[in-house]
């Protein structure tokens, strides 16, 4: 297994360019199954493990995928399978998005119950409810979901909760369905707007993304296009937290500051100075951060759950007491135990963490338990005194493309190592 060996205490300084967004590119790759003709080119496709797993699934379905650096080419002419491969689907939760486009194209689909990070139950009832509302018949047996779409029709879909994935699934299932599908209480995340942009670039007709009501007018055909996903606001936020907690000063290039408002406003509350330009964001941290009174994760435009762990790590060294409430996922505080091993003072009760800022953290051997929690441990290690090893970094590679390179370019000292062979005296 691989880990990051981190020498703490370096202030992050310099400029870094953000990668394309994981949470945008995964549904976009799923939607790339929709066009019958033409090649789709995804520019700025991040080199992350989840994107590889997704292209692996697309390949098994008959779509030809080839990557050259950040450019991914997809051709669907050979698409003929509607059953998603078991092993790969279990690896990423995003495999559930494929139900919508496969049903849209082939009117049937089979998927194994999806995998992903261990951050809670993560049911898929809303996805299935949305597809049923479009006339899909669904049979669940032994962890396998069979969907039969012979009777699919457009119409209204109402979500009890604005689920990101379920909204995207229905948008894709409806893109080729004759008539008007209206999604009520839709998720409003920027990645939903990006999926709308991609479907429309292929010749589709979707409007309203970014609001609670999305309308999809089915078109007869879509064609392949060249498209680049939005910059990754979560990677951006992670780097900002790393700079903030080390007292650094960084510039994020290829950023969309509008998408990062919930995070940049919290960092301002902690005493950081932030300057927003059209596609750049500049952060200058104080010598010591201040605690924030409360942070509650919520669907967009509330504070993103995907930034909770990193912000919690930053608050460990802030002066005063910060309170964090995780409302979106029920089991997303597993990084707390390892942060405490590094000297943090955190009390957890249910979904609430109370963080009393300490003056210093100490390097330790810790282990990533999920994607964002792993990133949080890296942030703490960057600020800690001495050396840390963050194990099971494969989980971090799911969403961060070569995180060590970005951090080292900013002056950090991070090395990818084999965790079983590491020499602690090095």
Q: Which residues bind ligand UD1 (CB under 6 A)?
A: 23, 26, 93-94, 120-127, 161, 163-166, 187, 191, 304-306, 328-329
Shortest Å distance, C-beta 336 to ligand UD1 = 18
Shortest Å distance, C-beta 365 to ligand UD1 = 27
By beta-carbon proximity to ligand UD1, the closer residue of 156 and 179 is 156
Shortest Å distance, C-beta 297 to ligand UD1 = 8
Shortest Å distance, C-beta 337 to ligand UD1 = 21
By beta-carbon proximity to ligand UD1, the closer residue of 204 and 229 is 229
Q: What gap in Å lies between CA 216 and CA 173, rounded to an integer? A: 10
117 is catalytic: yes
By beta-carbon proximity to ligand UD1, the closer residue of 123 and 151 is 123
Q: Tokens 């969309």: give the residue.
A: 256
Q: Tokens 């936020």: give the residue.
A: 237
**DSSP states of 55-115:** HHHHHHHT-EEEEETTEEEEE-TT----BPPHHHHHH-GGGGGGHHHHHHHHSEEEEEPP-
By beta-carbon proximity to ligand UD1, the closer residue of 343 and 373 is 373
Residue 246, SS3 per DSSP: coil
By beta-carbon proximity to ligand UD1, the closer residue of 123 and 156 is 123
Tokens (6 digits) for 389 = 């090893």
Q: What gap in Å lies between CA 258 and CA 316, rounded to an integer? A: 27
Shortest Å distance, C-beta 305 to ligand UD1 = 5
Q: CB burial class (10 A; 0-12, 13-18, 19+) of residue 320?
A: middle
Q: Of 45, 63, 65, 117, which one is the catalytic site residue?
A: 117
Q: What are phi and psi of 20, to 5 degrees?
A: -65, 150
Residue nearest to ligand UD1 as judged by C-beta position? 165
Chain length of the chain? 426
Enumerate the active-site residues.
117
């Amino acid at each position: 297994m691989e880990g990051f060996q981190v020498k703490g205490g370096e202030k992050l300084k310099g400029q870094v360019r953000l990668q394309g967004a994981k949470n945008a590119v995964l549904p976009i790759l799923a939607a790339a199954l929709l066009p019958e003709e033409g090649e789709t080119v995804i520019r700025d496709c991040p080199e992350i493990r989840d994107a590889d797993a997704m292209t692996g699934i697309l390949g098994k379905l008959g779509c030809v995928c080839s990557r050259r650096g950040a450019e991914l080419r997809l051709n669907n002419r050979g698409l003929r399978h509607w059953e998603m491969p078991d092993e790969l689907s279990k690896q990423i939760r995003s495999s559930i998005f494929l139900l919508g486009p496969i049903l849209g194209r082939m009117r049937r689909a089979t998927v194994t119950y999806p995998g992903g990070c261990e951050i809670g139950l993560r049911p898929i009832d809303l996805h299935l409810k949305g597809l049923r509302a479009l006339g899909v018949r669904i049979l669940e047996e032994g962890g396998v979901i069979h969907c039969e779409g012979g009777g699919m029709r457009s119409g209204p879909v109402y979500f009890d909760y604005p689920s990101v994935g379920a909204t995207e699934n229905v948008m894709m299932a409806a893109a080729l369905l004759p008539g008007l599908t209206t999604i009520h209480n839709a998720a409003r995340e920027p990645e939903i707007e990006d999926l709308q942009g991609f479907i429309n670039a292929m010749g589709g007709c979707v409007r309203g993304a970014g609001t609670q009501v999305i309308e999809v007018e089915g078109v007869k055909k879509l064609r392949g296009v060249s498209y680049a996903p939005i910059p990754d606001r979560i990677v951006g936020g992670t780097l900002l937290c790393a700079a903030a907690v080390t007292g650094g000063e960084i510039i994020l290039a290829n950023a969309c500051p509008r998408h990062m408002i919930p995070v940049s406003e919290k960092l301002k509350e902690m005493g950081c100075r932030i300057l927003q330009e059209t596609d750049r964001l500049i952060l200058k941290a104080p010598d010591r951060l201040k605690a924030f009174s409360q942070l509650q994760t919520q669907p967009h435009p509330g504070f993103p759950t995907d930034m909770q762990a990193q912000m919690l790590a930053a608050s460990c060294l802030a002066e005063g007491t910060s309170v964090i409430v995780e409302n979106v996922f029920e089991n997303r505080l597993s990084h707390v135990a390892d942060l405490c091993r590094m000297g943090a003072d955190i009390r957890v009760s249910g979904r609430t963490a109370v963080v009393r800022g300490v003056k210093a953290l100490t390097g330790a051997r810790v282990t990533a338990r999920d994607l964002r929690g792993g990133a949080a441990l890296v942030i703490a290690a960057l600020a800690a005194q001495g050396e840390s090893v963050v194990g099971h970094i494969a989980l971090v590679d799911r969403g961060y493309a070569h995180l060590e390179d970005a951090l080292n370019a900013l002056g950090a000292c991070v090395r990818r190592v084999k965790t079983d062979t590491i020499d602690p005296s090095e």
